[in-house]
Structure 1
Amino acid sequence: MATKFPLWISIWFLATIPVIFWDAGYCFMRPRSMRGGDLHWIWSPYSLYQDIDYVYGLRAFENHEGFTNAQSFLNIVENLMNIAYLYLAHVKQSSIAPLLGFASIIMTLSKTILYWLNEYYCGGCSVGHNDLKTLVVYWIIPNGLWLVVPAFILYRLGKDIATSLRTVDRLEKKKVSGKRQ
């Protein structure tokens, strides 16, 4: 049974790789990447975002809050796993690719849920200052995308892995029962 590599999953990984590296670059290069920094031109959209989400803003940087960079470090690990998935799926055609993709997407989903829960449990300490329209357009929708798509990927890869495991299990049982005869 050949392993399937759904194109839409590969497109997600391929599309998010530069976004994740770009975001991590902003976080690791603060304050130079922030408004007024010499490298801000690379991350100019963050000029708006650092005021919407204080996790990315000056306050978090000045307070030496570690969450932003800790998450960014894990984003790099996740991204390397995404690259490895694409390589294993499309270059090597390896049956290991879905397992690596599954592990990577669990990281994506877990970190995103943690990010949302952090906001919930601190009473909106980083985004609660926004009006509803700003919050929805610039925080909920973009960050929600990182919940919805990974959830679908998790479901699909989990289903594919479970199917493969059931197939191997049936073959093993057939093999064992064939030896008894």
Structure 2
Amino acid sequence: MTAVPPIPAPVRVDPRDLRLPRWVIVWLTVSAIIQTYDACYVLLGPLSHEGGPLAAMWPGHVFYGSFDHRYAQFDAFGSAQSWANLLEVIVIVWALAHARRWSGVVVALVVTVATFWKTVIYFLVEISSGLEMTRQSLERGDLVGFLMVAVLPNAFWIAFPLAVVIVLGRQVLRVGRAAGA
């Protein structure tokens, strides 16, 4: 006769760890809107670019394109990143629809890691190319414009996702520890 193993005690997890924090929901919502808007600008070029019939819908992007030529003209990397943005938005919408479930936390963590690294890669591609797409603003002596338009806004796309990754990563770690106890 085989001994029956004892039934483990129920895992005690803080219910707040099983759902997305409100500020993360706000960030993901804003992120999805911006990523969709941004991807449409890039993928609809040249219609959406300066001089195109749809350019008035993206005045900020047309201005940004004067600092980052990846946005002012077709660029394969920029196009690929825009398609990745749209895929991320689909995953974000799924995570938001499951914001009160553990699965929403895990999926939000995964998609935010993707957002973070995609932005880091964007910077690394630009740096590795010798600032191929942004150098012209420095060559015309516009260091402040370069920093305020090309660098600072993009830095938010590293800082905010990193904050989300830290917060959701800690949640996943706490739930994992509780389940392992």
Q: How big is the shift at 1:47?
A: 2.0
Which residue number in structure 2 is paired with residue 121 of structure 1? 128
TM-score (norm 1): 0.86
Which residue number in structure 1 is paired with residue 20 of structure 2? 5
Q: Matched residues in 2 for 1:108 and 1:17: separation?
A: 11
Q: Matched residues in 1 for 2:28 and 2:66: separation?
A: 28
* RMSD value, Cα: 1.1
- For structure 2, the residue ranges without an aligned partner over 5 or more in a row are 1-12
Percent identical: 25
Match of 1:124, SS state, is coil
Which residue number in structure 2 is paired with residue 40 of structure 1? 55
Among 123, 146, 149, the residue aligned to 1:138: 149
Q: Is residue 160 of structure 1 aligned with residue 171 of structure 2?
A: yes
Deviations along 1:114-140, one digit per CA (max 9) or x if unpaired, are 000011111111112222101111011
Which residue number in structure 2 is paired with residue 74 of structure 1? 84
Match of 2:90, SS state, is helix
Among 160, 170, 176, the residue aligned to 1:149: 160
Which residue number in structure 1 is paired with residue 4 of structure 2? none
Match of 2:45, SS state, is coil
Q: How big is the shift at 1:6?
A: 1.1
- How many pairs were matched up? 162
Q: Matched residues in 1 for 2:152 and 2:167: separation?
A: 22
Higher relative contact order (CA 8 A, sep 6+): 2
Q: Matched residues in 1 for 2:48 and 2:60: separation?
A: 11
Match of 1:96, SS state, is helix
- For structure 1, the residue ranges without an aligned partner over 5 or more in a row are 171-181
Instruction: Work out whether residues 42 and 79 of structure 2, in 8 Å CA contact, stay in contact via their aligned partners in 1.
Output: yes
Match of 1:31, SS state, is coil
Q: Matched residues in 2 for 1:142 and 1:106: separation?
A: 18
> Counterpart of 2:81 in structure 1: which amino acid?
Q
Q: How big is the shift at 1:39?
A: 1.2
Instruction: Work out whether residues 42 and 71 of structure 2, in 8 Å CA contact, stay in contact via their aligned partners in 1.
Output: yes
Q: Matched residues in 1 for 2:65 and 2:151: separation?
A: 15
Q: Is residue 57 of structure 1 aligned with residue 72 of structure 2?
A: yes
Q: How big is the shift at 1:98?
A: 1.1
